[in-house]
Each structure stands twice: as structure tokens, then as C-alpha cells.
Amino acid sequence: MKNTDYLSTITKIEKELADWKYFDAIRDRSIVTTIYLIYLKYLSDIHHEIVFERLIKTYKNEGIFDVGVINKLLEIRLTEIDCSDDIAVKYLKDIDFTKMPYEFVKVLEDINNLDFIDETVVSKLVCALILRFSSLYGLHTFREDVSQNDMNLVLCATDLLNVDNNMCIYDCACGTGTLLAMAGATGSVLYGQEEDVERAVVAYILCKMAGAREVHIDVGDVLQKTMSVKYAIDKVDRIISAPPLTDKYVNQQKLHSSDIQSEFLYGDSIPDSGLWIYARHMIQKLKESGTGVMIAPCSLLSREGNTKDDRYRIVRRNSIKAVIQLPTWSSTRAVRLCIIILEKGEESKLFTKIQMIDLSSNKGEKYFLDKSRSNGVKILDSKKLTHFINENIELDGISGLVEIEEIEKHDYNLTPGIYLREITDMIKQRERTVDMLEQQKELLNQYHQSEKELNDAVLNYYQFLGSKQDKENVNE
């Protein structure tokens, strides 16, 4: 089967389960139920069970769903895996399969056609599930599908992480586990924290299907109570995260408890810290040789206030290895994004350089496009990008190592473009931006004018009807 075929099958199953006739059983949880059933088939296949054949046979012969078959499978397998599976068990036990209508047998047959014996099939299914139900940022709804551009960005970010086997990987705002699932190499131990229980359940299942040795997903907000305290996580090999962008208080994030101050670099909780507060947590939890990758909006690189204060502190302790300014098409999000590569660093008078890479310019974009895999779709060459960072390669107008003193002259603005582009290029980009804003302003004015004309027309119509009615009343 092709990737598109898996995607079509998953979509078909979810749409069937979303029908009103399943409501009594799953209570409008068609997405979680779909992923859960696929996970059960995955467990059944890798342990050489024939669970779904038995379910279908019982369903057709007796018209009932044999919950005992699933419970037996889970009872055996859950004793073999970590306690964090309690998240999935506690949530999914509320799905009452005995209340499923008879049409449910069609769903079981579709799932039974998925064969997880081949590892490549599992990999394709995980990608298909992510494309259909996941999202890059944790607080986005499930139903906002991830685009291929988003997936390319995820794969690029996970490549930059340089994961090896048997590592410990952490995401402090994991959402539905997209980054963890794609980053987790064989034998990895994955830790993730997510506020929403449904997303946490999905993250657990996706990470297990991706082949992690252990998966620990905790429900909660890292700024209120970090899972690293609960699970006694000292330091980890790799951290990857795309902190939520939709939180309206994102620029005023602060620690809610003094009990967790030691889990954040500097241990303070200044207001208007923005997403750098997540970066401070990532740096604190990294091993000396660890690497952190954070996907964030470009505004984080230049905003004033305490955001600047955190930039100053983190830069001065040599904790930023590289900043990559991404092209606009790299994600479907409405904001411009960047990738910040973090290291443990230390307070030192001997400052290292920060590598700045600008992919938002035409020159940078063209240089790092992977033409061998494009097929008409723009894809970043993450292997080339990783090589540039590992080898500290400099290339005029695209990549450069910038001294801390130079960054200080620019008021700790970490936007790569200001260090790599000619001033004329920056002016041209500003002119293009101004032109776009003027066009948007003109379109908005046209919209308001059209709306006014419509309202006037409606008002005139009702006035006409009123005067007509008055004349008829007089004639009567």
C-alpha cells in the first residue's frame, strides 16, 4: 500500500466512527478510538495474536462485541510495559465497545486489513496517523490536519537533533507526540508532557508504535508541575519541542510554583519571558553533551522586554549553538518560524560564536532545497543543514558564525538575516512587506465599502416595504 492508501483507510475509519450512531459508545471520541483500535491491531500482529479475526467472527455470529478478547490481549501486554500506560487505560476504558452498532463490524474488517508484521508498514502507518490527526503545536485541534510542509519541518527538526539508539528524549510540550514519535530511534526512552488528556493518550500510542523502548507521557503543564520531578528525570540526552503558539498569554508565561524553580535555568519567573522560559527548562534538563531543538516564531528572536533579558542571559552563557531562520512555506502556520539549537553551555568569559543560517532569503532557500526528493514540493535538505551546523560551515549570505560582540551591538537581536544579508536586501524585503500591507489595507477598505453598500441596500429595501405597506393601509 502507498502512503496515500493508508491515509485513505484511516480517514475512512474515522469518518465512519464519527457518525451519530456510535455516540453512545465512544462519546464523540472518534479520533482517539480510531487510533486506539489501530494500536490494538498493531499489538495483535507483533505478538502473533488473531484478535480481530475472533472479534469479527463473534460479531457476525452472535451480534456482540467480545470485550474479553481485547482485555486478555491488554492484560498480557500491559504487564510488559511501563506504568505510564495508565494514561491510556484510564481514558480508554470509558469507551464501551459493547454499545457499538452492528455496522462496527465493517470498521473491524478495515482495520484487520492493515498488516503490521512488516516494520516499514508500521512506519508508514505512524506517518499517516500523524498527517491525519496530529498537529505541530500541542494546543491546536486534532482536526486541523498536518500538511506535508509541516511534516517536512518535523523531519528536518528531528534530523538536527542527531539522535542515536538508546537515548533519552524529552518534549516538555508534546501535544500529540509528533516530534517525539519522529525523533525516537530504536531503543529510545521517550518522555512527554501535555495538558490535554486526549492528546496525551494519542502521543503515547504514536510513540509506542514508532518503536520506543519506553514511553512516559504525563498530563499536565510544565510551567505548573514538571514531569521531570514526578519521574525523577535528572538529565536527558536530547530535548525537542515546539511550545504552543495559540496560548493568548504566551508572552506572559511564568512559573506557577516555587517548587519547580530548580527545573528552570536561573530559577526565576519574570513576566513577559515568552517562549524563552521553555528554552530555560530545556537547557536545565540537558546533559553536558546534550542537544536541544526548539521550533519557535521568529518574533522571539528580536522582541523587547524580558524576552530580550532572557536572550541576553542565555547567549552570555554559551547555550545557543545555532539559529535557523526558516522560509515562509516551511509550515502552514501564519507566523514565520525559526529553529533554535540549544546546548548546555556554561557561564564563561570566553564566548563562543553562534551560527546563523538564513533560509528565508531566496539565496538561502535555493541552496538548501532538496531537489532529489522534491517532486514539485519544496523540501529542505536537512542532511546538508545538519552538516553545515556540525562543521560550522560559513557561506556568504547564507550561513555565518557571529561573534557575541557583534550580537551585542545589535541589542541581542538573534535574527540571522540582519547578520547575513546586505542592507539593500533587507530594504527590499521591507518594501515588499510594506507593499503587501498596503494591498491588505486596500482590500479591507473595499470589503468595508461593500459591506456598507449591502447594509444600505437592505435598509432601503425594508424602507420600501414599509412605505408600500403604509400606502396599502391608507387605501384600505
Domains of the chain, residue spans: 3-120, 134-421, 423-476
Q: What are the helix (H) ranges across 50-172?
A: 51-62, 67-78, 86-92, 104-112, 119-133, 148-160
Superfamily of domain 134-421: Vaccinia Virus protein VP39 (3.40.50.150)
How many angstroms separate the CA atoms of 405 and 403, rounded?
Answer: 5
pLDDT tens-place values along the chain, 476 residues long: 666 788 899 999 999 999 999 999 988 889 999 999 999 999 889 888 888 998 999 888 888 888 888 877 776 665 555 444 567 767 777 788 888 998 999 999 999 999 898 888 888 899 889 888 887 765 556 766 677 788 889 999 999 999 988 899 999 999 999 999 999 877 899 999 998 888 999 999 999 898 888 899 999 888 888 888 778 888 999 999 998 865 445 555 667 667 788 888 888 766 666 789 899 999 999 999 999 999 998 988 987 666 788 899 999 999 999 999 999 888 877 788 999 999 999 877 677 899 999 999 889 989 998 876 656 678 889 999 999 999 999 999 999 999 999 999 999 999 999 999 764 454 445 445 555 556 666 776 776 777 777 777 777 766 766 666 666 665 66
How many angstroms separate the CA atoms of 116 and 45, rounded?
Answer: 6
DSSP 162-201: T--TT-EEEETT-TTSHHHHHH--TT-EEEEEESSHHHHH
The predicted pLDDT at position 476 comes to 60
The predicted pLDDT at position 452 comes to 73
Please say whether the beta carbons of 321 and 342 come within 8 A. Answer: yes
Go through 387-396 and write b for each residue having 16 or more CB atoms within 10 A of its CB, e for each that does not. Answer: ebbeeeebee
Q: What are the helix (H) ranges across 306-420?
A: 306-316, 362-367, 382-390, 404-409, 417-420
φ/ψ of residue 286, rounded to 5: -75, 145
Please say whether the beta carbons of 171 and 395 come within 8 A. Answer: no
- β-bridge mates for residue 357, sequence order: 324, 399
The predicted pLDDT at position 223 comes to 85
**What is the value of pTM for the model shown?**
0.83
Helix (H) or strand (E) holding 228: helix 227-230
